[in-house]
Amino acid sequence: TGHFDSAVAALVLMYAADTDELTRFFSSTLGLLREGGALVGVICDPDYGRIGHAAYNRVFEREGNLVRVDFLDDNQQVLTSARFTDFSRADYEQAAARAGFHSLEWQTLRVTQAGRDAMGDAYWRGYEADCPYVGLVAR
């Protein structure tokens, strides 16, 4: 049994090369958690619907078993890109279960009032209904 009540994985899990490595990510984290502890994470949502369309200064594209995300500047020019494995929600759920977690719950991300104030309502239109990111809690 580990020493921590919780662990955070922000935009990390999707960089596993395959489902075996994804299972190892979950397993190594579980080993650090106390009984009843939780892994709290954020990943790019496998169910995101605006693939190929610019939204929130990003464009997501599927490339075989990978996803490429281009991060855009204010002029819609690519600043940098990242590539990660195109896992399904079921892949995450199964990897967590194989690692020994008892449950994995999906959490919809919400825009705070501070975010709305900073970027404006037009920027966030549709974000919560089709968010490029999703939270997860594995216990």
4-46+87-138, what's its fold? Rossmann fold (3.40.50)
pLDDT, one tens digit per residue, over 117-132 is: 999 999 999 999 999 9
pTM, full prediction: 0.93
Task: Name the residue among 42, 48, 46, 3 with its Cα closest to residue 137.
Answer: 42
Tell me the average pLDDT across 53-59: 96
The tens digit of pLDDT for each residue in 70-89 reads 999 999 999 999 999 999 99
